[in-house]
Structure 1
């Protein structure tokens, strides 16, 4: 919106330049919605400003992370996007990774230059057996390689959060997934509030908070803006930004992919809402954006990437991402700078 007589209303990107770029204050929900409603002709302008914000408040470095599934499939929850739910008839079958395989995955991750390695399990929350496996795996990884270890093990109890703290887990991932007003259209077996409570447990114990979302699960633009505001309230250290990759057999199997322009608007809007967070390219970016879109995203506010494959979907070859970062003169963050 341009300046209109005496109304005092100015273009959202002009306001964001002063508010976010100059003062470091993230856009509020209503302002995020304005960015999400920008016409296609303004997308490049939004990305350019988002890149300036990223450089101003985060710097040029890019954090590289690898993830591995310790327990795959058989999850009792009904997250409608997830092929690991035991409630849906999908190609994914339950499996567990042994410690040697976990260590090898960590070695391969570190070989890419990554500083973060995330152990993920498809569960509502960890039981004693899983916690013991995580502890054994973390000890073995630390004996083999030098890397920050993150975990994503679902909903935690206070006692489990204490255990992870004692294991020196660097960062804990628990995504809000979608806006609170849309959550029951995505998940019915647990609540948005339970997810938020786990994030509070993690932060209270000094672990870094990783909390992101999946874009394109039938939410409205208003709900996407709502989500950005709710993520800002969490104030996470890292925000993984996934785009829906519809999985066969799930309730969301027939959802369309997010249009590239919408995805890029979302990247810019989330950076302007979260000026200091690690905004991480995660699942679905390959299908949604392709190589050109990946470049635009890296020049539009993204400052972290997951390299290699995701949990049940294929990613790009790690070297492709590393080559792109080198081409863009974006240094990979070093381990000493993430501790």
Structure 2
């Protein structure tokens, strides 16, 4: 850990750079933020919260997600139990359109403004794109909610099709820093993921692009990921914390320390001051109830409610009650249009 003098210095520099000059924090400063001591964590979170309020306001965006196709993915993302290459107990399942609509209605009933359809694939084939179009049309006819998608790597024609369907946001995570990516995935490259992200941005769809921390990366690589996401400037960054899944190459890794997780939240906020920073997978186990509250007061301004793709999340009522207790209003649907 750095000395108190250095810690004070980095917090002062971060305040000036982000709050006064209106710039994002760069790699070197992010490394120092991630090295701050526990005695400065409260001040760091308070600064990140101040940044969030200045550039994003008080409102929290709430989203639900569902898997259109679960399991059987041909890629080898080492954290993911949906890979067909590992012994993890998730097998390929397709979801039908009525189930999609019901899930979207249930998500809207929680107050969520967005519903994300996810498929465990390298990239969508014609069958998946057809089902996606049918599903989006059915949801739009049945419920007033924004539809997002996460279908893997795309071609330009598929990007254009999703725009035509009315998909307003596309999720494609960088997953890890470029320098650590080969330790996480070997069946495709960091550059391939980045190419899809750029096509989505250029199309006019909002880009949702985040990553996963706690996979054995160094603090420097954590700062690298935050810095690379800052340079990409996605509309939204989902921040996931590794929930080690049995049967995956990362299944035996330890859970991330909760204070390191909170420092990471603050660092990502300082690297992405104007971006939606969303609580995503693993935060229930990594942070618990108290840490979840601290993160909402330390830079987070969006949450996924309910379950994730292959793991259980918090009961949506718990998150909604926490937001109410913190007097954080949920963003209305018309504010997302």
TM-score category (smaller protein): over 0.9
SS in structure 2 at match of 1:140: helix
Q: Please state how far the C-alpha of 1:301 moved relative to its aligned partner.
A: 0.3
In the other structure, the counterpart of 1:158 is 156
After TM superposition, list the pairs within 5 Å mapping 1:270-289 onto structure 2: 270-289=268-287
Question: 8 Å contact 1:2–1:11 — kept in the other structure?
Answer: no
Per-residue CA deviation, residues 13-56 of structure 1 (Å, 9 max, x unaligned), is 11111111223211001100000000111111100000000000
SS in structure 2 at match of 1:64: strand
Count of equivalent residues? 336
1:17 and 2:15 aligned: yes
After TM superposition, list the pairs within 5 Å mapping 1:211-290 onto structure 2: 211-290=209-288
In the other structure, the counterpart of 2:56 is 58
Q: Which runs of 4+ in 1 moved over 3 A?
A: 1-4
Question: 8 Å contact 1:68–1:119 — kept in the other structure?
Answer: yes
**Normalising by structure 2, what TM-score?**
0.98
Pick from 85, 88, 94: which aligns with 1:87? 85
Question: 8 Å contact 2:7–2:36 — kept in the other structure?
Answer: no
In the other structure, the counterpart of 1:130 is 128
Question: 8 Å contact 1:78–1:188 — kept in the other structure?
Answer: yes
Distance (whole Å) between structure 1 residues aligned to residue 3 and residue 188 of structure 2: 43
Distance (whole Å) between structure 1 residues aligned to residue 236 and residue 178 of structure 2: 19
SS in structure 2 at match of 1:11: helix
Q: Please state how far the C-alpha of 1:251 moved relative to its aligned partner.
A: 0.3
Question: 8 Å contact 2:67–2:118 — kept in the other structure?
Answer: yes
Question: 8 Å contact 2:7–2:40 — kept in the other structure?
Answer: no
Question: 8 Å contact 1:24–1:57 — kept in the other structure?
Answer: no
1:325 and 2:330 aligned: no
Question: 8 Å contact 2:307–2:314 — kept in the other structure?
Answer: yes
Stretches of structure 2 lacking an aligned partner (at least 5 in a row): none
Distance (whole Å) between structure 1 residues aligned to residue 249 and residue 3 of structure 2: 42
In the other structure, the counterpart of 2:47 is 49
After TM superposition, list the pairs within 5 Å mapping 1:63-74 onto structure 2: 63-74=61-72
Distance (whole Å) between structure 1 residues aligned to residue 256 and residue 8 of structure 2: 29
Distance (whole Å) between structure 2 residues aligned to residue 157 and residue 9 of structure 1: 45
In the other structure, the counterpart of 2:193 is 195
Q: Please state how far the C-alpha of 1:168 moved relative to its aligned partner.
A: 1.4
In the other structure, the counterpart of 2:293 is 295
**Normalising by structure 1, what TM-score?**
0.97
SS in structure 2 at match of 1:181: coil
In the other structure, the counterpart of 1:31 is 29
Distance (whole Å) between structure 2 residues aligned to residue 181 and residue 41 of structure 1: 30
Change (3 A) 1:2 1:245: closer
Distance (whole Å) between structure 2 residues aligned to residue 9 and residue 280 of structure 1: 26
